[in-house]
Amino acid sequence: MVNAAYLTRLKLTDFRNYGQLTLDLDKRHVVLTGENGAGKTNLMEAVSFLSPGRGLRRAAYGDVCRVGSTQGFTVFAALEGMEGPVEIGTSGGGEAEAAGGIGRKLKINGTAARSNDELLDHLRIVWLTPAMDGLFTGPAADRRRFLDRQVLSIDPGHGRRVLDYERAMRSRNRLLSEGRLDPVWLDGIEAQMAELGVAIALARRELVAMLAKLIDDAQGNNPFPQADVALQDFLGELSGETAAEREDGFAGYLSEMRSRDAAAGRTLTGPHRSDLLIRHREKNMDAARCSTGEQKALLVGLVLAHARLTGDISGHAPIMLLDEIAAHLDEGRRAALFDLVDDLGGQAFMTGTDRQMFSALGERAQFFNVKAGEVTAEAAG
């Protein structure tokens, strides 16, 4: 059985267009409706700050602060989490950040957290936004970021490995560009890159394999098209079966390619060059060549499959943030989507301009109207 993690209270101060806001919630889904620009997505973004990183918009913290605010923003949430009831508060931006480059601060049950990764002890958050609609046709970096967030939901250490790898790679690139080919320094950096890079690639491969199996098992029971997923990475170029053998192979390859990479001004091989490959199974067609509607349906199916996998692995269904999720679906597929989301067992936040699009949810959701930064509860039905 998958348990639910859900918010019971959300409080915002000087966050985007909200000066002060308090929402009391229960275990049900949350539907936010209102005109474009009213602040629906801002609320979703606030919830996304309960996960590591810079939220679903990847915004600079200073940009998140309400215009005119000097103290910065705060997001507070009370929730039933993976380890029981917990209170989480996070803040950033404002004059303090501008003066000292201070990042986001985090407190869990009133105690300062050592890192934002501690959030993963209490909840996992999965999101789908209109900005992701170009995932299949955009640059590989967008798909890597999408994949790494998926890996992070089942492997909390993945984000730190990616950051450490990128830091080591920048150091190597700098040494090569400056012509400082000290073998002692470079050997050490490349050994670190090799250890981290192979771990990153193996974690991605494991996630893709599990996701592919889950999609196979659900075939025929999903109104959204099935996707074939695969990872294009550098591991296939390395000899060896064990992780240690691959690390040695990658470190040796980096050493051999120093002159090439110095001439290019960057490291040309590694997990930072990998790509997530997605095909429409029924049509046997690359997702990038599918119609806009088919791409959206494929993406919805992928996100739902990943949410289910996250629940299966962690034992707790993730909180889902589904921005403008119903806008391009017909009535039948909307109802099927809501049933699938509900079946996952967690709390979902959904936005739209027309409340009628969410009527199939009925009593399964709390409904709120958002207008110019004001949020009003509405009766279900």
Pick the closest to residue 320 from 148, 126, 129 (CA basis): 126
Strands (E), 64-118: 73-81, 84-92, 105-108, 111-112
Which residue do the tokens 């105690």 mark? 111
- Per run of 10 residues, the mean pLDDT along the chain (length 381 residues) is 90 96 96 94 97 92 88 95 96 69 86 93 95 95 96 94 97 93 92 98 97 85 87 89 94 96 96 97 95 92 94 94 89 90 95 93 95 89 62
Please give the pLDDT value at position 84. Answer: 95
Pick the closest to residue 368 from 126, 43, 36 (CA basis): 43
- Which residues, including other chains, have CB under 8 Å from residue 99's CB and lie 6 or more apart? none
What domains sit in the chain, N to C, each tagged with a CATH number?
1-132+315-381 (3.40.50.300)
Tokens, residue 58: 């990847």
25 alpha-carbon distance from chain centroid: 23
- Report the C-alpha gap between 67 and 268 in whole angstroms: 42
Please give the pLDDT value at position 97. Answer: 60
Please give the pLDDT value at position 239. Answer: 80
Element (H, E) at 294: helix 292-314
* Pairing of β 73-81 and β 6-15: antiparallel
